[in-house]
């Protein structure tokens, strides 16, 4: 438990049901976050014993290792995007348009593109992780979840405290290397979708996130 809670997934992935461990191989374990901060929130856990105890900034200084983690993260992003399509595709105007065109008789030469769900998934690490084992968040952009209960929950995914995996390697002078926990997590709430500023009004933010979620899945 506590800060060591992710270790058991790495050592014994086979002992969990598929509702918890999504897949595993020699090098990675993909799991559902137990306290999801979005409608879909997965974690990629690298298993390499020489890396799992390192801070992500340190682990990702190794270019070869970073490339490997990025590749697996892309794989999990695709999987997450497919899941979003499966869950929300039926609501999505873009998907419905595409389906309608596909089933038309005769179908058009040029099909409208379906929604790119890959873009609705963000992947990265926290500048100051709370859990000790190296992990990459793979999370739907919506930030819509009952488990999103605290100010820091929102801002840890919505400020530079969250460092996208594709931003690595970080430049030596990158400010995010020296996060002032206060600075990022105590910032005003800015809606991830429309950019409105909710100041420190968490209840209002939560209400707004629900409205944005309903629209987001329909696009």
Interface residues toward ligand 5GP, by CB under 6 A: 5, 31, 33-35, 126, 129-131
Q: What is the DSSP string of 77-114?
A: HHHHHHHHHHHHTTT-HHHHHHHHHHTSSSPPSSPPPP
3-state SS assignment for residue 178: coil
Least Å from the CB of residue 57 to ligand 5GP: 13
Stretch that binds Zn ion, among 47-55, 70-78, 146-154, 211-219 (CB under 5 A): 211-219
**In the bound complex, what is the minimum distance in angstroms from residue 201's beta carbon to ligand 5GP?**
23
* Chosen from ligand 5GP, Zn ion, none, partner binding at 35 (C-beta under 5 to 8 Å by type): ligand 5GP
Q: Does 193 bind Zn ion (CB under 5 A)?
A: yes
- How far apart CA 80 and CA 63 sit, in angstroms, is 25
User: How many C-beta neighbours within 10 Å does residue 149 have?
Assistant: 13
Q: Which does 191 bind (CB under 5 to 8 A by kind): Zn ion, ligand 5GP, none?
A: Zn ion
Give least dist CB 131 to ligand 5GP, A: 4
Q: Which does 107 bind (CB under 5 to 8 A by kind): Zn ion, ligand 5GP, none?
A: none
From 32, 135, 137, 153, the catalytic residue: 135
- H helices of the chain, where? 7-11, 56-59, 63-88, 93-102, 151-155, 181-185, 202-216
CB of 70 to ligand 5GP, least distance (A): 17
State the binding partner of 193 from Zn ion, ligand 5GP, none, CB within 5 to 8 A by kind: Zn ion
Half-sphere exposure of 106 (CA within 13 A, CB side): 3
- Examine the residue annotation and report whether 135 is marked as an active-site residue of this protein: yes
**Closer residue to Zn ion, CB minimum distance, 188 or 196:** 196
Closest CA to 156 of 137, 173, 134, 175: 137
């Amino acid at each position: 438990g506590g800060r060591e809670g992710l270790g058991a997934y790495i050592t014994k992935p086979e002992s969990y049901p598929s509702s918890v461990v999504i897949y595993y191989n020699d090098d990675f374990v993909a799991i559902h976050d137990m306290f999801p901060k979005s409608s879909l929130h997965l974690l990629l856990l690298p298993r390499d014993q020489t890396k799992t105890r390192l801070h992500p900034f340190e682990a990702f200084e190794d270019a070869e290792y970073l490339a490997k983690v990025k590749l697996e993260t892309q794989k999990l992003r695709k999987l997450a995007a497919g899941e979003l399509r499966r869950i929300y595709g039926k609501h999505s105007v873009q998907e419905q348009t595409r389906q309608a065109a596909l089933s038309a008789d005769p179908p058009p030469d040029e099909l409208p593109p379906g929604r790119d769900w890959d873009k609705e998934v963000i992947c990265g690490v926290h500048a100051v992780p709370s859990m000790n084992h190296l992990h990459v968040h793979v999370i739907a952009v919506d930030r819509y979840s009952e488990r999103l209960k605290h100010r820091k929950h929102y801002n840890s995914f919505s400020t530079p405290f969250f460092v996208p995996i594709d931003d690595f390697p970080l430049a030596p002078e990158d400010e995010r290397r020296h996060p002032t926990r206060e600075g990022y997590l105590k910032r005003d709430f800015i809606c991830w979708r429309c950019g409105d500023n909710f100041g420190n009004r968490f209840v209002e933010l939560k209400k707004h996130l629900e409205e944005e979620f309903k629209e987001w899945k329909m696009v």
